Amino acid sequence: MLIVGDFDADGATSCAMAVSVLQQMGLREVAYLVPNRLSLATD
């Protein structure tokens, strides 16, 4: 499973919580992706 988070504080926190809970539930393959703010920034 892939969890996609956001780069702000609440996005990073919710991503970490989701990964943690899924692992505690027994899901072994949990990955996460948090976009790079600098490379994805818009003008």
Those residues with Cβ within 8 angstroms of residue 37's Cβ, 6 or more apart along the chain or in another chain: 7
From 13, 41, 16, 43, select the one nearest 30 (Cα to Cα).
16
- Residue 23 belongs to what domain range? 2-36
| Partners of 3 in the β-ladder | 32
| Cα 4 → chain centroid | 5
Residue 11 lies in a domain: yes
Residue 12 lies in a domain: yes
| 4-39 pLDDT, tens digit each | 998 889 999 999 999 999 999 999 999 999 888 777
Q: Which two tokens stand for residue 32?
A: 């996460």
Residue 10 lies in a domain: yes
From 18, 10, 9, 17, select the one nearest 1 (Cα to Cα).
18
The pTM (predicted TM-score) of the whole model is 0.76
Residue 7 lies in a domain: yes
Residue 43 lies in a domain: no
In the predicted model, is pLDDT for residue 41 greater than 80?
A: no
